[in-house]
Amino acid sequence: MSQRIHVIGLSHKTAGVDIRERFALAGFNPVAAGLTQEHGPITEAVVLSTCNRVECIVVGEPGADVAHIVHQIWAQTCNQPVELLTQHTYCLNGAAAVAHVFSVAASLDSMVVGEPQILGQLKAAYRSAVEAHATRVILNRLLHKAFSTAKRVRTETAIASSAVSISYAAVELARKIFADLSRHSALLIGAGEMAELAATHLLAAGVQRMAVVNRTFSRAEELAKRFGGQAYGFDALSQALREADIVITSTGSPSVILTASQMREIMRSRRQRPIFFIDIAVPRDIDPDANAIDNVYVYDIDDLNGVVEENRASRQQEAIKAQAIIDEEVQAFLQWMDELRLQPTIVALLDQGERIARKELRKSIRQLGPDPDPQVVAIMERLAHSICHKIYHAPITYLKRRTQEEGSAERFIHQARRMFNLDGETPPEDAHDDRKRSR
């Protein structure tokens, strides 16, 4: 048996935002947390944590209870009960795990099918894992293939045409609520990529006035200047909220930035004028209890499902084409995994051959006398090395070909190791004399 790829995760399909925000793993370092260890049961890990999914993509040793280990460390990191976590997670192994990673990268598993942000988020997660020294040959190959597969899907299908995003869905929801945005003002809380996309869509929808609030004021200024809005520092949040009709919030804060009691105060100064929050952050930025205040309407990311369903139906045909590309790339990756399993056997075969060649070479050189010609010795060494590799070329080629044709390396690895006694097995007592002598 060989190492296997596993995905243990939860997403918008298995857990509501109230669960996703409790188990978010933003900034998680697999090495520092003890998830990966050089000689441990899990040797590689990439952790993806977005508003709609948290997934641990790991490589586990044969026989290791990988899901149990991941669940324990994950729950402990979030200071939440592991029993709650396991109710909402899925565990995929082998080919299913590979197919899932490719589908996530290609945005087929996204809430908004075809949205482009997930690929950037997966690349960022991989970059963090590389910097933490949490990846090796298998996940390096898997993630690079996931990125190239996503590129194929976007190039060869129309899945990304009229590309939409969570931010687009949020603005669409605002349009459904207000019908005409030209008489309303919008406030963006946060100045990241989601806020930038939301600003683009709000302008396209004709919003009357736009403002940006961000903890880093210079970033708020930059975004506001680009879209003709007004910038506020975070200490001016209450003032900005007094003037807004629609608020789209997408900060990376680990806890709420606006409590229900703060919102009651703000509503008094607004003279109870209605305000609509569309909170696309996970963990959520707005206290859900604020929704109970008169004339305060709070929508979270799960409330975007209506908009998303329309998008999904229109992209179904392209999704079928994309799935065919993913199936093809998964088969190619699994073939590479099988060939990877051959490597220790190929190395052992060549080592055995070179060991025999060196032994016979020493005998031959002794026959040349006490002071052999160095040029002759060099020629003999090259000859022995060449013969060794030519003899083993045929069995190695056979192993590779049969693995490719039959899709499984295990049986051929077993046969080859026994045939060439690569594991140094001791013949049984009742073995034929020829076999005993051959050791």
At residue 298's C-alpha, the angle toward residues 295 and 301, to 5°, is 160
Model pLDDT for residues 134-148, shown as the tens digit of each residue: 999 999 999 999 999
* Mean pLDDT of the 56-72 span: 94
Model pLDDT for residues 362-391, shown as the tens digit of each residue: 989 888 888 888 999 899 999 988 988 888
More confident residue, 293 or 168: 293
> Residue 72: pLDDT band by 50, 70, 90 thresholds?
very high
Say what percent of the chain tops pLDDT 70: 93
The answer to whether 112 and 68 are in contact (CB under 8 A) is no
Count of CB atoms situated within 10 Å of the CB of 136 = 14
pLDDT for the residue numbered 434: 65
In this model, does residue 162 exceed pLDDT 60? Answer: no
HEC sequence for the chain: CCCEEEEEEEECCCCCHHHHCCCCCCCCCCCCCCCCCCCCCEEEEEEEECCCEEEEEEEECCCCCHHHHHHHHHHHHHCCCHHHHHCCCEEEEHHHHHHHHHHHHCCCCCCCCCCCHHHHHHHHHHHHHHHCCCCCHHHHHHHHHHHHHHHHHHHHCCCCCCCCCHHHHHHHHHHHHHCCHHHCEEEEECCCHHHHHHHHHHHHCCCCEEEEEECCHHHHHHHHHHCCCEEEEHHHHHHHHHHCCEEEECCCCCCCCECHHHHHHHHHHCCCCCEEEEECCCCCCECHHHHHCCCEEEEEHHHHHHHHHHHHHHCHHHHHHHHHHHHHHHHHHHHHHHHHHHHHHHHHHHHHHHHHHHHHHHHHHHCCCCCCCHHHHHHHHHHHHHHHHHHHHHHHHHHHHHHHHHCCCHHHHHHHHHHCCCCCCCCCCCCCHHHHHCC
pLDDT for the residue numbered 218: 92
Q: Is 51 a catalytic residue?
A: yes
In this model, does residue 163 exceed pLDDT 70? Answer: no
More confident residue, 211 or 313: 211
pLDDT for the residue numbered 164: 64
pLDDT for the residue numbered 371: 87
In this model, does residue 35 exceed pLDDT 90? Answer: yes
Least-confidence region, from 107-111, 176-180, 290-294, 427-431: 427-431
> Residue 125: pLDDT band by 50, 70, 90 thresholds?
very high
The answer to whether 123 and 46 are in contact (CB under 8 A) is no
Rounded Cα distance between 84 and 389, Å, is 57
pLDDT for the residue numbered 182: 86
In this model, does residue 226 exceed pLDDT 90? Answer: no
Least-confidence region, from 111-115, 335-339, 401-405: 401-405
pLDDT for the residue numbered 59: 95
Q: What six digits make up the tokens of 36?
A: 């990966």
pLDDT for the residue numbered 438: 56
More confident residue, 171 or 65: 65
Pick from 205, 55, 232: which is nearest to 143 by CA? Answer: 55
Paired strand residues for 90: 9
> Residue 327: pLDDT band by 50, 70, 90 thresholds?
very high
In this model, does residue 430 exceed pLDDT 70? Answer: no
Q: What six digits make up the tokens of 424?
A: 């140094």
**CA distances, 259 to each of 161, 239, 329 (Å):** 39, 15, 47
pLDDT for the residue numbered 409: 66
* Mean pLDDT of the 205-226 span: 90
* Mean pLDDT of the 312-337 span: 86
> Residue 432: pLDDT band by 50, 70, 90 thresholds?
low
Pick from 81, 80, 30: which is nearest to 58 by CA? Answer: 30
Residue type, 84: L
Residue 329, burial from CB neighbour count under 10 angstroms (0-12, 13-18, 19+): buried
Least-confidence region, from 7-16, 73-82, 413-422: 413-422
In this model, does residue 357 exceed pLDDT 80? Answer: yes
Query: b/e string for 204-229 if b means 16 or more Cβ within 10 A?
Result: ebebeebbbbbbebebbbebbeebeb
Q: What six digits make up the tokens of 179?
A: 């019908």
> Residue 408: pLDDT band by 50, 70, 90 thresholds?
low
| Residue in this structure with the two tokens 């699994």, named with its chain if needed | 334
* Mean pLDDT of the 231-249 span: 92
> Residue 200: pLDDT band by 50, 70, 90 thresholds?
confident
Q: Beta strands 246-249 and 275-279: pairing type?
A: parallel
pLDDT for the residue numbered 14: 95
The answer to whether 384 and 361 are in contact (CB under 8 A) is yes
Rounded Cα distance between 171 and 165, Å, is 10
In this model, does residue 305 exceed pLDDT 80? Answer: no
pLDDT for the residue numbered 213: 94
Count of CB atoms situated within 10 Å of the CB of 324 = 12
The answer to whether 45 and 57 are in contact (CB under 8 A) is yes
The separation between CA 379 and the C-alpha centre of its own chain, rounded to angstroms, equals: 52
pLDDT for the residue numbered 414: 79
